[in-house]
Amino acid sequence: MKVMEYFTIKGNECIVYKFYDFDLLSIIKSKNLDINKDCDAKLIRGILYQILEGVAYLHGQGIIHRDLKPENILINKDGVIKIIDFDLAKIIDLEKPMSRGVATIYYRPPEIFFGDSNYSFSVDMWAIGCILAEILIKDPLFKGHNELEVLFKIFEVLGSALVIKIFCNL
């Protein structure tokens, strides 16, 4: 996003960006999106396409976002999205282990819960799948109050055999 202005107030750095009307979470919560309505299906496809294009660009540059979630996807009145909040983003370095404390827990893949530090771009792809599910069901797919509850939700939805297979491949 283009930086409009940058300044400091009482030691806090402030960055002003171009205004975007919504974030994806507010659209999920406030608008009754229906995949069966043609205009809503078109909107959902357009949003998902832009997210995938943005993430493909990042991955092509060797960057993992590591905190994709509806709050980090801004949308203007014309339906154009911007991916924001790159605080946890990292350039892939296959020689160095990655940190485990990334991704908001609703969008965190099982391998990170199991302590894998050699993860890669799949972390962002998992999050995109979780975001799509949230658009469709209007609530996080793997909603829990803590890591253990979220992990149990993943087992519940995907089945323990699949999650164990993921764990064994670490």
Q: How far apart are CA 42 and CA 34, in angstroms?
A: 10
Please give the Cα distance from 89 to 59 (Å, whole number). 11
> Which sign does the torsion angle of CA 28, 29, 34, 37 carry?
negative
Q: Is-catalytic flag, 67?
A: yes
- Provide the 10 A C-beta neighbour count for residue 68: 27
- Catalytic one of 23, 34, 40, 67: 67
Question: Annotated active-site positions, please?
Answer: 67
